[in-house]
Amino acid sequence: MIWILLGVVALFGVSLLFYMNKQATQENIMEQTLAFPDFPESFGKIRIFFISDIHKRKINSEFIDKISNIDLVIIGGDLTEKKVPLEQVSENIKQLKKLGIVFFVWGNNDYEVDYHELDSLLLHHGVKILDNSSYLFESEQGHMLELVGVDDMVHERDELETALEETKRDSFKILVSHEPEIVDKFTEKEKISLVLSGHTHGGQIRIFGFGPHERGGLTQMHHTTQLISNGFGTSLVPLRLGAPPETHILTITTRADA
């Protein structure tokens, strides 16, 4: 009897690991329309592809082919980690470049590699690095949209004040930070409408709904709106449970029905 019980337990364990690995390799695309009253109408709408926490995963062309009509691609940090070949990172960037202009902020695991080499690779591929800096888009009518990015908070390299230094007061601002805690470092006066973050993996492995972090999602705060992504890859082990991987297509507009 004991051997049957042990066999059932072993079978359940193997099945669970198989399921967790399968969940970790999903290629989920979450599509959301976000309407902001202060988004400049002259831009019509913009479509952003947001991907964070790629880590060891490979982005294949079949996945990219499912995505269309993207204006901006934003990598929310942890593009890589130690022992990931630079060639693999390069191929991932090439795939993302098929979608549109690519922006990048640093995550804590990006500093596990030779960050000078990673920086050089990003520049070689024409990726715009938002390291405590901003990037301005201006419509023909003179309306402004700015992407603002801060460096990694874990290594205390973030300088939000520096990143905002050259921004325009009346621009529509999207802040990108690998770590979600950046929202604690500003108030309404900075006029940041949207924050995009990753880092937490949604807890990655959640037992009976509980995990080390909350699942990713969209939160409306008193001073901004924040999207925290579950991320695309995994940390430590290639397993997920209750926090499936995700990427995001965000349509930003002034109208909820756009």
- pLDDT, tens digit, for every residue of 222-232? 999 999 999 99
Residue-level pLDDT at 233: 97
In a domain, 205, yes or no: yes
* Residue among 122, 188, 199, 123 nearest 158 (CA): 199
Task: Tell me, yes or no, whether 62 lies in a domain.
Answer: yes
| CATH number of the domain enclosing 79 | 3.60.21.10
Which ranges of the chain have pLDDT less than 50? none
CA distance linking residue 47 with residue 67, whole number of Å? 11
Query: In 3D, which of 183, 206, 154, 200 has the Cα closest to residue 53?
Result: 200
Residue 13 located in a structural domain: yes
CB neighbour list of residue 134: distance below 8 Å, 6 or more residues apart: 146, 147, 148, 149, 163, 164, 166, 167
Burial class (CB in 10 A: 0-12, 13-18, 19+), 24: buried
Total domains in the fold of the chain: 1
Q: What are the helix (H) ranges across the chain?
A: 2-24, 61-64, 86-97, 115-124, 160-164
pTM: 0.94
In this structure, is residue 258 part of a structural domain?
no
Give me the domain span that covers residue 18: 2-253
- CA–CA gap between residue 225 and residue 194 (Å, rounded): 5
How far apart are alpha carbons 247 and 152 in whole angstroms? 20
Other CB atoms closer than 10 Å to residue 140's CB: what's the count?
6
pLDDT tens digits along 85-131: 999 999 999 999 999 999 999 999 999 999 999 999 999 999 999 99
Q: Which strands sit side by side in the sheet containing 144-149, from one edge to the other?
A: 133-138, 144-149, 172-176, 192-197, 225-228, 217-220
For residue 210, the model assigns a pLDDT of 85
- 54 found inside a domain: yes
Would 53 be classed as within a structural domain?
yes
Helices (H), 125-204: 160-164
Strands 225-228 and 101-104: unpaired
Asked if residue 121 is part of any domain, the answer here is: yes
